[in-house]
Structure 1
Amino acid sequence: MNQPNATGRIEINASADDVYALVSDPGVLAELAEEYSSFRWLHGATTAAVGARFRGGNRRGLRRWSTLSTITDASAGERFAFEVTAARLPISRWQYEIEAAGDTCVVTESTWDRRPGWLKLPTSTATGVFDRDEQNRRNIDTTLRRLKDKAEGA
């Protein structure tokens, strides 16, 4: 896989399993994220498992849009990832790598922009973000800080 378009890391004073439980719950991620704001499981799914799908609601100011996500990795305490599409077109991949380090862990959140070139202008116009890589770096920093606070009980 090529290099991510945006990534961030943080050390968290919580177990890898506890942190995985947070990042693998799309509802918790919606609480922590900057643009991703709501979700609902699809096709009878109720928990994170490879192949499970969920509809994500996103917002930025007055702008709103939805996406479809398919979970591709669900390794407890290690990795959670999903591919995002809109109108059956590839949008992005989001991944959370968790490295256990005793009673703490290091979490790396990364995203890959999967949009074909011709789709970048229309989606940028729809979301109001024309430098998606930089915006995702800022969003990742926010999400990781919020994850740390939640996991550490702040």
Structure 2
Amino acid sequence: MRSLGGEVTLHIDATPGEVWSLVSDVTRIGEFSPETVAGRWTGGSTGPEVGATFAGKVVRNGVGPTYWSACRVTRCEPERLFEFSVGTRKVVVNNWGYRLRPSGEGTEVTEYFRLEPILPLRLYWAVLGRARGRTNEQGMRTTLQRMKAVLEG
């Protein structure tokens, strides 16, 4: 079976610290993502740390009704890795993240997603995976290019 996820990598002429401050600030995601139009910390969380919670306001495929998704930071290594799960404490649907690696005078940034390997999601991916994966990869590329424009601008 194909991998239940995908990733996109882009070089940004900015330090890992500068990139980190952008990818880990969920309140700014609406400036960059074509599908997540807003973000806010929830449950008393105020910044990136393992266990922090936030909500992302999503517009699927950039059109249609919006909805809020509950998220929890699952990995947080400043200037290296920021990952979060989407779902509830009991049922995680997918995971999104950013890996940062110093590269020359800048940073190689990889945005990725990974569905949980539970049966309903494996079936979903078997039927719609190619199309959804392509849409996610286009969205990640757009997000990273918009971040690059801000950081290099």
Aligned partner of 2:111 in structure 1 is: 109
Aligned 8 A contact 1:66 1:86 in 2: no
- The answer on 1:30 being equivalent to 2:15 is no
Determine the C-alpha separation between the residues in 2 that align with 1:34 and 1:120. Answer: 25
The SS at the match of 2:50 is coil
Count of residues in Structure 1 that have an aligned counterpart in Structure 2: 146
Aligned 8 A contact 1:69 1:83 in 2: yes
Gap runs ≥5 in structure 1: 123-128
Aligned partner of 2:10 in structure 1 is: 10
CA RMSD, aligned part only? 2.5
Q: Which amino acid aligns with 1:70?
A: R
Structure 1 residue 86: deviation in Å?
A: 5.8
Could you say if the C-alpha distance between residues 50 and 38 of structure 1 is closer, same or farther in structure 2, counting changes exceeding 3 Å?
A: same
Q: Percent identity?
A: 27
Could you say if the C-alpha distance between residues 18 and 120 of structure 1 is closer, same or farther in structure 2, counting changes exceeding 3 Å?
A: same
Determine the C-alpha separation between the residues in 2 that align with 1:49 and 1:14. Answer: 22
Aligned runs of 1:1-154 on 2, under 5 Å?
Answer: 5-59=5-59, 60-85=62-87, 89-114=91-116, 116-118=118-120, 131-153=131-153
Determine the C-alpha separation between the residues in 2 that align with 1:119 and 1:9. Answer: 25
Determine the C-alpha separation between the residues in 2 that align with 1:68 and 1:140. Answer: 19
TM-score normalised by L of structure 2: 0.84
Gap runs ≥5 in structure 2: none
TM-score normalised by L of structure 1: 0.84
